[in-house]
């Protein structure tokens, strides 16, 4: 089964995002069943411990995920960028997420712009609390899973 890993520092909202995505999937799968469409892709969502934890077991997960979500919650994201290189070397497709986006007055746009400036990567702003960006993230995950 294809694995989607959720990475980020301690308390960056990894587990909350996993539940938000799972809820989304359950709703979607129910819709699919109602329409009798078969072949829904099943994936395993993998929650991980913080990348800022010493001897993080996230290292092991990094080796096996097809798609990796890297959560960023503030403008000190050097560690996250280092992990992105590591995940890329291991062959994962990386989606950068501005997590807990509801905490920002601008919905995380300025942080996403800062990430883009430093890394060239487009970040998706997501809030597990309000649900903002969850559908978009789910769609992006599915696009990445469909590739190769």
Ligand X SMILES: Nc1nc2c(ncn2[C@@H]2O[C@H](COP(=O)(O)OP(=O)(O)OP(=O)(O)O)[C@@H](O)[C@H]2O)c(=O)[nH]1
Least Å from the CB of residue 128 to ligand X: 4
Least Å from the CB of residue 104 to Mg ion: 21
Residue 93 or 133: the one with the smaller Cβ distance to ligand X is: 133
| Touching Mg ion, residues 9-28 (CB under 5 A) | 14-15
Using DSSP, state whether 71 is helix, strand or coil. strand
User: Which residues sit at the interface with ligand X, rule CB under 6 A?
Assistant: 8, 10-16, 50, 100, 102-103, 127-129
List the Cα angle 45/50/54 in 5-degree steps. 135
Contact predicate 49/57, CB 8 Å: yes
Residue 9 or 14: the one with the smaller Cβ distance to Mg ion is: 14
């Amino acid at each position: 089964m294809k694995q989607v890993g959720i990475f980020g520092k301690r308390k960056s909202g990894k587990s909350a995002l996993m539940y938000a995505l799972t809820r989304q999937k359950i709703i979607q799968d129910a819709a699919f069943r109602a329409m009798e469409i078969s072949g829904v892709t099943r994936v395993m969502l993998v929650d991980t411990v913080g990348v800022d934890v010493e001897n993080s077991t996230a290292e092991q997960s990094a080796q096996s995920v097809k798609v990796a979500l890297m959560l960023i919650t503030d403008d000190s994201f050097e560690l996250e960028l280092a992990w992105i290189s590591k995940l890329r070397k291991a062959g994962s497709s990386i989606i950068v997420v501005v997590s807990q986006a509801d905490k920002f007055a601008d919905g995380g746009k300025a942080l996403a712009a800062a990430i883009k400036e430093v890394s060239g990567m487009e970040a998706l702003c997501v809030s597990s609390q309000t649900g903002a960006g969850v559908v978009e993230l789910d769609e992006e995950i599915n696009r990445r899973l469909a590739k190769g």
